Amino acid sequence: MKSSFPFLPTFILKYPFENNLNLSKVKSPTFIFHGDKDYVITHENSLKLKAVLKEKDSVIILKNQDHIGINDNAE
C-alpha cells in the first residue's frame, strides 16, 4: 500500500501483514498468484517473497491482471 499511496500515514493500515515472517512456518505447498497490473499492491511485493518460499513453492505472476477479478483470469 505504501508504495502505491505514499501520502497515506502508516497508521491507516488496519492489518499490517508481515508475510515474510510467517511464510517459513507454512507446512503445506504455497502458491502466490499476483497480477502484474495490480494498482493497490505491486506484484514486486510477491516477487520479494520468493526469497522465503520453500523450493516447491511458487509465485505466479498473471499478465494483464489487476487487483480485482483474479478468479476470472483464464491464465
pLDDT in tens, 19-38: 888 888 899 999 999 999 99
Taking CB atoms within 8 Å and a gap of at least 24, the contacts of 21-30 are: 23/49, 23/52, 23/53, 24/52, 29/54, 29/56, 29/57, 30/54, 30/57, 30/58
Answer whether residue 36 is part of any domain: yes
Does residue 60 sit within a domain?
yes
Whether residue 18 is contained in a domain is answered as no
State the total domains in the chain.
Answer: 1
| Boundaries of domain holding 64 | 1-6+24-69
Q: Which residues of the chain have pLDDT under 70?
A: 1-5, 7-8, 12-15
pLDDT for the residue numbered 18: 83
Structural domain includes residue 31: yes
pTM equals 0.73
46: in domain: yes
